[in-house]
């Protein structure tokens, strides 16, 4: 099971939402999701049952984020190219071949993300704020690293397919 493809289906990403998500405001504001989830759960002792409302609001933000911003006029930037690389990575296989060095590195980065996940979950369960901070930081750094790798992937393969080239607007 490819967790990234599952999340794409859950997010109902279509061509329009992908174009809108390539707006740097969407990409950068999306980095707020994990810290918001962390805080929503970390303050459960104060919020009580309202924690569910906070988690639902963050979930709504997660779904709305790629749809809230307009498609950017220019996509010649790190954030936009990161979304393009992610699209290519999600559609890998068949005719959409990805150089093996990118696949290998993506697997490593995703593996490092999954390595941090149990610590993050345990920190939320145990209310260990230092571990919460460190594990959230770990997950955020590996997420930024993954997006950076997607920029590199897009830069390497954009000339292979006219559709990929069409995404880049100067």
- Least confident piece of the model among 1-15, 78-92, 94-108: 1-15
User: In 24-128, which residue ranges form alpha helices assigned H by DSSP?
Assistant: 24-30, 33-42, 44-47, 50-68, 78-90, 100-126
Q: Is the pLDDT of residue 48 over 80?
A: yes
Q: Alpha-carbon distance 41 to 43, whole Å?
A: 5
Q: How confident is the model at residue 56 (pLDDT cuts 50, 70, 90)?
A: very high
> What's the confidence (pLDDT) of residue 3?
59
Q: Alpha-carbon distance 134 to 157, whole Å?
A: 35
Q: Is the pLDDT of residue 11 over 90?
A: no
Q: Alpha-carbon distance 162 to 170, whole Å?
A: 16
Q: How confident is the model at residue 19 (pLDDT cuts 50, 70, 90)?
A: confident
- pTM comes to 0.86
User: CB neighbours of 95 closer than 8 A, spacing ≥ 6?
Assistant: none
Domain spans of the chain? 3-167
């Amino acid at each position: 099971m490819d967790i990234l493809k599952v999340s794409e289906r859950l997010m109902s990403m279509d061509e329009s939402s992908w174009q809108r998500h390539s707006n740097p405001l969407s990409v950068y504001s999306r980095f707020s999701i994990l810290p918001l989830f962390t805080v929503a759960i970390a303050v459960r002792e104060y919020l009580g049952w309202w924690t569910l409302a906070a988690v639902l609001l963050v979930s709504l933000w997660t779904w709305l984020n790629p749809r809230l911003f307009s498609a950017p006029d220019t996509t010649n930037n790190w954030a936009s190219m990161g979304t393009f690389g992610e699209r290519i990575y999600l559609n890998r296989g068949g005719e959409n071949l990805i150089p093996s060095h990118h696949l290998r590195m993506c697997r490593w980065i995703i593996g490092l993300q999954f390595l941090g996940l149990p610590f993050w979950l345990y920190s939320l369960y145990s209310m260990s704020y230092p571990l919460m901070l460190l594990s959230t930081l770990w997950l955020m750094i590996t997420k930024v690293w993954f997006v950076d790798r997607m920029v590199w992937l897009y830069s390497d393969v954009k000339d292979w397919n006219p559709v990929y080239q069409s995404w880049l607007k100067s």
